[in-house]
């Protein structure tokens, strides 16, 4: 078994969360995502559950935990749509896995790194959703709108900075 | 082997998670729940996303909605209470500081004005809802929008009424402005409203001016489009679009929107993409009406139309009877005239059938009458070919007017039309006289 040094990034930056925060934070994100567009329709371009997925994945530094967290959040989101269960689940599961894997190599406390990570993974998720819709569901009418996806990614990365800052307060160093 | 799994533990877990969901997706797509007695017309134009879920999936969705909907309703109620508390608090502060007379008074009056304006706006909306109910005489349930799907790819809203209030899947949802969508899934105290701009949504419509029938569908970008019509110069921008009732979901005549643009559809030539601007503002819905049943009694305007149509039909019937009495030669076509008269009050399809009958000039033969068939199996209806009907104005081209080939002589003169008319032929009925001018 490989011996890990105490100062490895994984050990140094690995955080945990109170179970209440682990459950409530994604639920609040999903609730806000469902309620805010009723008053502000343009907020549909945001994806707060995606931001929560990325935050928990990069904080825990565990790809498996990231994938499971992303899958559960995605499945919860699927429950509110008219899509079959698994569309958002697969996309967010993969995003959680990739975010946790990237978290080893990136300093997640840096705001620019966080914004870049969210921007990239937001585009990744759009691509995954497109592939799922086309290949798995056979929805040929599903279109990938590059400008719209870019704007969504920018909005997500901008909103992620304050959201990460708030969620940072609930981190517990393992 | 152990080191292999240890080394690749993370990707293997991810693959397992994704694989399980892919299989679950395949099962859901393979077994969509179809309501056995659901509207066939609607089913033909709707896709996977608008159909109710299967039993297991519905259970999962019910859990999700049950977890979220009370929170949404709670936030909705508490936000209105907080607003009330805030206003009361401001009022109290103003009561205590009455010595700061004018400035505070003006501020309070302004707030009251804003509050009254809000109340008036809500009152107007409710008044329009009431007027709509009276106009269409439909049994409906007023519901409030409490949330959205939270996804820009899923145009779904949540209403604060469910099966406990009499809501069922596939019931149409409208506002006084026009059609909004239909109920997709129903839970005890919540229901899922599928908007007409969702890609899985569809509705049968008529273009109000040109009377062309079509199907509107939602697009991936949240627009409402007609994509099953070819280019037609009669269709103009600004033409209203109303429901046709053909989908058996939406009642006939509800406004859907107006044509916003007409452009060739590059992906589906030779069809055009006709974009509709929805009559209802789908992005800002607050109160909606769910039509739970059509009323048996017609509204006053529709009742007047029906009375006019009935009077017209009676007049046509009297005219047909008079013609039949005065011109006995036209008696066989009287039945057709009668049918045409009735058709005026009936549906378009019935009218079309009646006019076809009158055009032939004879009473249509029963389809299973063996005397009206040539060949076929004895005793089996519709197994042979239909016999040609006798012509009103016979000439040398009429069936049976020409001598059989065996009786013709080479170089012989053709028979005169008068003789041909007088000759009894298999397809010619002796009692039928040619129409006199």
- Contact of A162 with chain B, judged by CB distance below 8 Å, is answered with no
B contact test, residue of A80, A99, A130 with most B CBs within 10 A = A80
pLDDT at residue B51, rounded to an integer? 65
Residue A165 CA, distance from chain mean position? 15
A19 touches chain B (CB under 8 A): no
Note whether A151 contacts B: Cβ–Cβ < 8 A: no
Q: What is the pLDDT of residue B436?
A: 42
Indicate yes or no: CB of A79 within 8 angstroms of CB of B61: yes
Residue B327, chain A, CB below 8 Å: the answer is no
Which helix (H) or strand (E) segment is B226 a member of? strand B224-230
* Partners of residue A81 in chain B, C-beta under 8 Å: 149-151, 153-154, 156
A137 touches chain B (CB under 8 A): yes
Q: Which of A45, A79, A85 sits opposite B65 (nearest CB)?
A: A79
- pLDDT of amino acid A153: 94
Q: Residues 218-257, chain B: which have Cβ within 8 Å of A?
A: 219-221
Minimal CA separation from A35 to chain B, in Å: 5
Q: Residue A5: which residues within 8 A CB-CB, separation 6 or more?
A: A11
pLDDT in tens, A101-133: 988 787 888 889 999 999 999 999 999 999 998
C-alpha A153/C-alpha A149 separation (Å) is 6
Which residues on chain A are in Cβ contact (under 8 Å) with B72?
Answer: 31, 34-35
B184 to chain A: nearest residue by CA?
Answer: A82
| B28 near A CB under 8 A | yes
**Predicted interface score ipTM higher than 0.90:** no
User: Which of residues 261 through 300 in chain B touch A, CB cutoff 8 A?
Assistant: 283-284
Q: What is the pLDDT of residue B345?
A: 37
Give the residue from chain A lying closest to B3, CA to CA: A1
CB contact under 8 A, A80 and B71: no
Residue pairs between chains A and B whose CB atoms are closer than 8 Å: 144
Q: What are the chain B neighbours of A87 within 8 Å (beta carbons)? A: 25
- How many C-beta atoms surround the C-beta of residue A75 within 10 A? 21
What pLDDT sits at residue B421?
A: 44
Q: From the centroid of its chain, how far is CA B373?
A: 39
Give how far B176 is from chain A: nearest CA, Å.
19
Distance (Å) from the alpha carbon of A111 to chain B's nearest alpha carbon? 26
Dist. CA B111–CA B117, nearest whole Å: 10
Alpha carbons B73 and B89: distance in angstroms, whole number? 24
Residue from B6, B14, B66 whose CB has the most chain A CBs within 10 Å, to mutate:
B14
Angstrom distance (rounded) from CA B414 to CA B409: 10
Q: Which residue of A has its CA nearest to B190?
A: A80
Backbone angles phi, psi at A164, to 5 degrees: -60, -40
Task: Answer for the pair A30, A76: CB distance below 8 angstroms, yes or no.
Answer: yes
Q: Do B151 and A79 touch (CB under 8 A)?
A: no
pLDDT (0 to 100) of residue B336:
46
Looking at the complex, does the CB of residue B15 fall below 8 Å from at least one CB of chain A? Answer: no
Q: Cα torsion for B71, B72, B73, B75, to the nearest 10°?
A: 80
B244 touches B292 (CB < 8 A): no
Cα A77 to the chain's mean position, in Å? Answer: 12
From CA B59, how far away is CA A85, in angstroms rounded? Answer: 11
Mutate to test the interface with A, among B151, B186, B198, B271 (most CBs of A within 10 A): B151
Chain A, residues 52-71, CB within 8 A of chain B, namely: 63-64, 67-68, 71
Query: Checking phi first, is residue B411 left (phi over 0); if not, alpha (psi -120 to 50) or beta?
Result: left
Hey, what are B278's tokens? 């929805």
**Going by C-beta distance under 8 Å and a sequence separation of 6 or more, which residues neighbour residue A109?**
A13
Q: Which segments of chain B have a pLDDT < 50? A: 33-46, 296, 332-368, 416-437
- Asked if B18 is an interface residue toward chain A (Cβ–Cβ < 8 A), one would say yes
3-state SS assignment for residue A40: coil
The DSSP 8-state label assigned to residue A32 in this structure reads H
Q: pLDDT below 70 — which residues of chain A? A: 1-13, 174
Q: Is the peptide bond before A106 cis (omega within 30 degrees of 0)?
A: no
Which of A82, A85, A136 shows the shortest C-beta gap to B156?
A: A82
Measured CA to CA in angstroms, residue B272 lies from A157, B196, B228, B235, B269 at distances of: 38, 19, 7, 11, 7
Show the tokens assigned to B331. Answer: 């008696």
């Amino acid at each position: 078994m490989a011996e890990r040094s105490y100062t490895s990034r994984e050990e140094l930056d690995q955080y945990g969360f109170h179970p209440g925060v682990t459950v409530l934070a994604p639920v609040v994100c999903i609730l806000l995502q469902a309620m805010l567009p009723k008053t502000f329709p343009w907020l549909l371009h945001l994806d707060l559950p995606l931001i929560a997925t990325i935050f928990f994945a990069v904080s825990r530094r565990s790809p498996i935990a990231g994938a499971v967290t992303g899958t559960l959040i995605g499945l919860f989101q699927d429950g509110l749509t008219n899509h079959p269960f698994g569309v958002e689940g697969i996309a967010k599961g993969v995003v959680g896995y990739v975010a946790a894997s990237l978290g080893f190599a990136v300093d997640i406390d840096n705001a620019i790194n966080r914004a870049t990570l969210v921007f990239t993974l937001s585009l990744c998720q759009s691509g995954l959703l497109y592939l799922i819709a086309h290949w798995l569901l056979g929805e040929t009418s599903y279109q990938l709108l590059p400008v719209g996806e870019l704007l969504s990614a920018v909005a997500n990365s901008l909103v992620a900075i304050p959201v990460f800052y708030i969620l940072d307060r609930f981190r517990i160093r393992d | 082997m152990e080191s292999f799994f240890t080394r690749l533990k993370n990707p293997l877990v991810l693959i397992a998670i994704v694989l399980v969901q892919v299989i679950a997706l395949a099962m859901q797509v393979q077994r969509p729940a179809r309501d056995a007695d659901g509207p066939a017309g609607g089913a033909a134009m709707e896709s996977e996303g608008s159909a109710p879920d299967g039993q297991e999936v519905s259970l999962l969705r019910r859990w999700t909605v049950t977890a979220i909907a009370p929170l949404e309703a709670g936030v909705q109620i508490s936000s209105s209470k907080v607003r009330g508390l805030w206003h009361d608090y401001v009022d109290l502060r103003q009561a205590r500081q009455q010595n700061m007379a004018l400035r505070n008074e003006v501020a309070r009056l302004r707030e009251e004005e804003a509050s009254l304006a809000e109340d008036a706006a809500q009152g107007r909306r409710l008044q329009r809802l009431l007027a709509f109910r009276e106009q269409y005489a439909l049994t409906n349930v007023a519901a409030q929008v409490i949330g959205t799907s939270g996804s820009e790819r899923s145009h779904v809203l949540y209403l604060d009424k469910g099966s406990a209030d009499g809501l069922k899947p596939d019931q149409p949802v409208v506002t006084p402005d026009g059609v909004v969508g239909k109920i997709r899934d129903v839970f005890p105290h919540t229901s899922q409203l599928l908007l007409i701009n969702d890609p899985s949504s569809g509705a049968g419509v008529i273009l109000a001016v040109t009377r062309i029938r079509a199907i509107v569908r939602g697009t991936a970008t949240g627009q409402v489009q007609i994509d099953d019509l070819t280019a037609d110069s009669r269709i103009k921008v600004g033409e209203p679009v109303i429901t046709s009732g053909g989908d058996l979901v939406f009642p006939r005549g509800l406004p859907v929107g107006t044509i916003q643009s007409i452009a060739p559809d590059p992906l589906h030539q030779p069809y055009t993409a006709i974009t509709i601007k929805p009559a209802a503002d789908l992005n800002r819905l607050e109160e909606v009406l769910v039509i739970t049943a059509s009323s048996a009694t017609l509204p006053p305007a529709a009742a007047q139309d029906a009375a006019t149509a009935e009077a017209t039909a009676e007049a046509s019937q009297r005219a047909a009877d008079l013609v039949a009495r005065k011109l006995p030669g036209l008696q066989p076509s009287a039945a057709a005239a009668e049918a045409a008269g009735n058709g005026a009050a009936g549906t378009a399809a019935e009218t079309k059938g009646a006019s076809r009958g009158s055009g032939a000039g004879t009473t249509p033969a029963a389809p299973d009458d063996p005397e009206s068939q040539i060949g076929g199996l004895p005793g089996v209806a519709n197994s042979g070919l239909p016999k040609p009907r006798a012509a009103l104005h016979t000439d040398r081209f009429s069936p049976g007017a020409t001598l059989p080939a065996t009786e013709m002589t080479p170089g012989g003169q053709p028979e005169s039309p008068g003789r041909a008319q007088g000759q009894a032929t298999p397809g010619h009925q002796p009692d039928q006289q040619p129409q006199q001018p």
